[in-house]
Amino acid sequence: MRIVIKIGTSTLTYATGNLHIRHVETLCKVISDLKNAGHEIILVSSGAIGMGTGKLGLPERPKDMPTKQAAAAVGQCELMYFYDKLFSEYNHTVGQILITGSDLENAQRNQNFRNTVERLLELKVLPVINENDTVATEEIAVGDNDTLAAIVATVASANLLILLSDIDGLYTADPHKDPDAKLIPDVFEISEEILALAGGAGSELGTGGMKTKLSAASLCTESGTDMVIANGSEPELLYGIVDGEPIGTKFHKKASNI
């Protein structure tokens, strides 16, 4: 299977912006194992701004563009340093791709991106993709990595996109506020009722929330890719998700694409 896995800032870092070593070490181990089993994996990783915030000792995620971009420049290095180090332990090579919305909209650059990803996969390299936050100002940014991951999954014709977040999946109500909230295991149609379940952005350091996850699900399922939202704090869940076990919330691709 060709699988895109998106890791959110809330999984990669603590609220302090420091690396969540337990999560990241386990994730790298499980992803390496899935690659060893023959799956093609593409990683879309957030965390540049979050980790840069921690490394620079800033009191909170920056709000102004130059500081955000400076934090991303610092954090992206830190992120790739850890991925390179941890995946190397399992004999896997990583390759970094930084991209913007306008790169993806430009036919030639989009094709170059596609070619690079294909070649990296042929070379058994694990592509690690993030938005190029140092240049991606609002006008040219994809804006959040849920959407970026969905675009990557579509462009790379992946079978499955897994969004790892700090929540188990889509609930009937906000589980932080409503004790009766129930996890929705399967979504076959992203109806008005489903869209109404999305709130705003999730954590302090990341940008995504259920809203961006649902628009990612629309994009994927329309173009023939299944999508699962699951909790990134238990990276071993990835084994079950890949085996098709009912974990998190699965958005099923449109029947016409099966």
Chain residues binding ligand GLU by CB under 6 A are 9, 46-50, 72, 130-131, 133, 144-145, 206-208
- Smallest distance, ligand GLU to C-beta of residue 201, A: 9
Q: Of the two residues 118 and 231, which places its CB atom closer to ligand GLU in the complex? A: 231
- The distance in angstroms from the start CA to the end CA of the chain is 15
Q: Of the two residues 135 and 181, which places its CB atom closer to ligand GLU in the complex? A: 135
Q: Of the two residues 100 and 225, which places its CB atom closer to ligand GLU in the complex? A: 100
Beta pairing, strands 249-251 & 226-231:
antiparallel
- Smallest distance, ligand GLU to C-beta of residue 15, A: 14
- Smallest distance, ligand GLU to C-beta of residue 10, A: 9
- Smallest distance, ligand GLU to C-beta of residue 57, A: 17
**Contact (Cβ atoms closer than 8 angstroms) between residue 82 and residue 19:** yes
- Smallest distance, ligand GLU to C-beta of residue 37, A: 28
Q: Of the two residues 3 and 150, which places its CB atom closer to ligand GLU in the complex? A: 150
Q: Of the two residues 145 and 154, which places its CB atom closer to ligand GLU in the complex? A: 145
- Smallest distance, ligand GLU to C-beta of residue 257, A: 26
Phi/psi of residue 83, nearest 5 degrees? -60, -45
Residue 130 DSSP class? E
Instruction: Enumerate residues 6+ apart whose C-beta is below 8 A from 207.
Output: 9, 46, 143, 144, 145, 201
CA distances from 21 to 17, 41, 79, 208 (A): 12, 21, 12, 22
Q: Of the two residues 74 and 193, which places its CB atom closer to ligand GLU in the complex? A: 74
| DSSP conformation letters of 177-211 | T-TT--B--EESS--HHHHTT--SB--SS---BHH
Alpha helices in the chain (DSSP H): 9-12, 21-36, 48-55, 65-89, 101-105, 107-122, 145-155, 192-195, 210-222, 237-242
Between 210-222 and 145-155, two packed helices, what is the crossing angle to 10 degrees?
A: 10
